[in-house]
Structures are given as structure tokens and as C-alpha cells.
Amino acid sequence: MGTPDTPEAPWRWLALWCALLLPLALLFPPIPIDETRYLTAAWEMFNSGQWLVPTVNGAWYPDKSPLLFWLIAGGWKIVGVHTWVARVEALIVALGVLLTLRRLAQRLGMDARGAGAAMWLLAGCVGFAVFSVAIMFDLLLAWCVLGALHALLDLDGRRWARGFVALGITIGLGMLAKGPVVLLHVAGVALLAPLWSDAARVHRARWYLSLLAGLLIGIAIALCWLIPAALYAGPPYWQPLLDKVSGRIANSFAHNRPWWWYLPLVPVLLLPWLLTLRAPRAAWTALPHERIGRFLFCWWVPPFVAFCAISGKQIHYLLPLLPAWMLGGAWLLRHEGARLRPLLFGLLALLVGMGMVAAPWLAARRFGYPPLAPVAWLALVGWVIAAGVWRVWGRDARSLSLASTALVSAAMLNGALALLPALDVRPEAAFVAQAQREHVPVAHIDWHNGLFGYTGRLREPLPWIPAAQVTAWCRAHPDGILLASDSRDEPKDAPPFATWPYVLSGTRRVAAWRASSILAVHREHARS
């Protein structure tokens, strides 16, 4: 059980963990539609020199806070504009999350061996490894949440000033990372602190006043950006922001996705540990009675219940909860009779390897391009892991975590390369950039989420028009070009002159039409 935890050992093995994920950081294209949109926001910030208010396709972008965009654009200022810059930054944040969790476990009373196990359980968790190089906000939010929990432990240790200042800073950074949702992740463990903290029970008034002080500091930090941004951009920026917040509150229980939607997905996030971790019943029943157990339940239960109740659901919203579950798993492994059994993990690796063999042909069949057969060789990674965990490798958290990370990295790289022609929108974005350079009128039918801004390094936004205005646009620009990336928006009966495979379209393509061709079809229909 656990892992050796000498002062030098974690860094050597963590470096190996990073190296296993580095191919994803270096080779993955921007993934539509979220990553391409966020990179476009950072690109427009970098390109325009206006860093105060994020924009996408030249329009104000009130949906997200700016911290991630600042980090990406700042990295580009240092080393140049590359997708790998954003992914390496994400990997650095993931490393920070691991080390912060390790320290949190020690502060909650676990020895170095148990704290190391918590760190490695998280590092090898499928849900964490998959998002460790993703260009998204949730990993950054998770780091801020862990920082806020450290601040609460400062308050528990009666270091009041340090605690509420640190709480305010981490809440403020969390708001700049992903908005007020950081409060949802921190509120349960903070407000229910008398269940796990002696200081909160004895000094209730001081505890809650410290929470209030930290909250006010956090809000003040967020307002240092939000007020200038709102004044600069005006109502077209802050009015949609207010409408969005109020709309989410009003529709929190509309359940566009059912309340149970997360329940079948959580086991997938917890792989491989759901298959390998075995603990006696006594360990499970003892956890709620321990201080660390009460801390963990206050940490993850309130936000998880809230996420189930809120209508908008995405699997990555649960990423900041993974450290709590992995810390609980590390605590269970401390007990006599608890162990990691890799047999089922080996079977999972064998099945994943079989899937990697089939992936190039399945992708080619769906999108109509030749299979990239060499990609199938990545299946060897899964099969080596399957054989290794059965016969050779240890059964501690570190070795299985590294094996799991290697499997995730190989599987994701296999899938991305197999789907690359349909996943990578850079060819069509380069087409748009060329049309703009040649001053050919070009537009997209309906909103395209900034799909081409970063990928084409566009110096000016790609205009978009509603589908109802296609004919009018074509008449105004008879030498122009229209693009569509959604099957519902494609002009009827007019054949496109260029197509590219695209994973998110119902017709499995991005297509381009000449305005003259669309007008010819309309004239033919008018005569018939």
C-alpha cells in the first residue's frame, strides 16, 4: 500500500508522470469546440493588445472569466503562439494540484506515505489525467479550491489573519478562473466547519467573521477586474452577463439533463481505482467518524448535490471534487486489509488496447478518409501495461498510477490521431485566412464559436450571418464564399465546392459554397 515518499523521490516520479502526458501536450490539435473557442479568446487578446475584456470573433465574451486567457496570452508573449504553450501550462497547473493535495493530506493528519498515496491516486485517476493537458478552466479552479481549503486549515489552526487573507486571495483567483462557482466548492466545508474543526466549534463567531472577511477580499479582487471591464465594454458586455447569471439561478432546477446524469459517469472518472481499490467494510464505516472523513464529506457532498440539481451539466464540472475522493481512497488504504488489486485494471488495459487497434478504421469509415494504420501500434502500450500489472509491476499507488497515466496518454493520442482529419480544423481555417488575405468576401452561416480565429490566426473576425439571411448576403456579395459547420445550416440543393471532415457536424463536414452557386439554385427554384 502507498508509495515511498523520500524528499527526492516524488520529484523524480512526478517528472516521469509529466513526461507520459507530454506527447499529448505537444501533439494534440485544438479540440473543437471548447478549446478552439478559448484559444480564439486568448488569440484575440494577444493580437489586439486589449486584455481587459475577453472577445470571441470580435464580440464581447461574458461567458468566462479572464484568468485562463491571461495565462495563455502571457505564455505566448514569452515563447510565441503555439497550442502546446497552453497545454504545458495546464500540465504545470495539474502538477500544482497534485503537490497541493499532498500537502493538504499531511495537514489533515496523514503521514508522508499516506499523503503520497493520495497524490498518486489523483495522478492516475482517469478523470484527472484526461484533463491534465486540456485547455479548460476546471483544473485551474481545482487548484484555487485546494488553496482555499488550506486557508480553512489555517483558520482551524487559529491563524486567523493568515487564514482569511489566504481565503480571500484564493476565492478571488477562483472567481477570475471560473466565476462564482468557486464559492459552491468552498461553501460546504467552510460553513459546516463545526463538524470537523475544533476552532470553529469553540470560536464560532470569529470563524464566521473570518469567512466573511475572506469572502469580501475575494469579491474585491474579482471586482478589481470586473468593474473596469464593465465600464470599458458597457451594457453590451455586462447586461448579457447579468442575464446569464439570473437565468441560471431561475432555471437551476429545470433539469435539462436529469438529476441522475452524473451518477453513471462518476465511476468512469474514478477508474482505475474503482476496479483496483479494495478496503474492508470496517474502514468504510469508520471514515465518517474521523475528522478527515467529516472534512471530506463537507467538501464534496454539498457541491455534488448542487451540481445534480442544476440543469446545466458537464462531466468536467466534477474535476475539483476528484481530490476529495482520492484523499478518501488514500485514507482507506491505511487500514489493515486494504489493498490495490491490479487484475481488473490489467483486463481494462487489454480491452483499451483492442479498442486502439480498431480506432483508425472506425474513424475512417465514419468520416470517409483513408485509415491511419500506424496509429494502431499505440495499442502495444495498453497490452504491455496489461501484461505488466499482472506479472511484473508493484501493486502500490505510484506504479499503478504511472501505468494508468501511460494508458490514458496512449489512448487519447490514438483517438486524436485516428480522428485527426475530422478533429483538426486548421485546414479549413487556413482557407478562411487565405480568402481574407485575398479580400474575398467570406462569412459563416450562424454562430461558429470562434472555430477559425486561433486556428487560422485570423487578423480580423470571420463574420457570421443567420441562415435566414443567406440569400440576401449572396446577392450583396455575388463573388463571396459561405461556410457552414452544422448540417442544419447548409444551403439546400446547392453543392459545396470544398469540404473538410469535421467531427461535430451532422453531415460530418465543414463545407464551403460560392455565393454564385447558391443564387443559381434560387433562380432555378424561382423558375420552376
Within the chain, what is the greatest distance between any pair of CA atoms?
86
Number of Cβ within a 10 Å radius of residue 115: 25
Which letter does DSSP use for residue 456 in this model?
T
Number of Cβ within a 10 Å radius of residue 514: 20
Which letter does DSSP use for residue 28 in this model?
P
* Residue ranges making up the domain that contains 401: 343-423
Distances (CA, A) of 33 to 37, 58, 505: 6, 17, 11
What's residue 54's pLDDT? Answer: 95
What's residue 9's pLDDT? Answer: 59
Say yes or no: 392 and 507 in one domain.
Answer: no
What's residue 527's pLDDT? Answer: 72
Single residue among 423, 457, 491 that ends a domain in this structure: 423
d(CA 58, CA 60) in angstroms, rounded, equals: 7
- Give me the number of domains the chain comprises: 4
What's residue 486's pLDDT? Answer: 86
Q: Write out pLDDT tens, residues 7-30.
A: 445 788 999 999 999 999 999 899
What's residue 392's pLDDT? Answer: 67
What's residue 510's pLDDT? Answer: 92
Do the beta carbons of residue 102 and residue 380 sit within 8 Å?
A: no
Nearest to 31 by CA among 374, 506, 419: 419
Sole residue written with cell 460546504: 188
Angle between helices 204-233 and 235-250 (to 10 degrees): 140
Q: Write out pLDDT tens, residues 282-318.
A: 999 999 889 999 999 999 999 999 999 988 889 999 9
Nearest to 23 by CA among 349, 348, 324, 416: 416
CA angle 333, 405, 337 (to 5 degrees): 15
What's residue 2's pLDDT? Answer: 43
What's residue 243's pLDDT? Answer: 63
3-state secondary structure at position 296: helix
What's residue 238's pLDDT? Answer: 73
d(CA 190, CA 166) in angstroms, rounded, equals: 14
CA angle 160, 165, 168 (to 5 degrees): 125
Own/partner long-range contacts of 243-246 (Cβ < 8 Å, ≥24 apart): 244/62, 244/63, 245/180
Single residue among 136, 155, 187 that ends a domain in this structure: 136
Say yes or no: 416 and 472 in one domain.
Answer: no
What's residue 139's pLDDT? Answer: 96
Beta bridge partners of 281: none
Do the beta carbons of residue 442 and residue 432 sit within 8 Å?
A: yes
Say yes or no: 17 and 95 in one domain.
Answer: yes
Say yes or no: 272 and 356 in one domain.
Answer: no
Which stretches of the chain drop beneath a pLDDT of 50? 1-8, 249-250, 252-255
Say yes or no: 452 and 411 in one domain.
Answer: no
Say yes or no: 193 and 131 in one domain.
Answer: no
Single residue among 79, 109, 136 that ends a domain in this structure: 136
d(CA 418, CA 453) in angstroms, rounded, equals: 24
Is residue 6 in some structural domain? yes
β-pairing verdict for 59-60 and 481-484:
unpaired
Is residue 175 in some structural domain? yes
Say yes or no: 274 and 163 in one domain.
Answer: yes
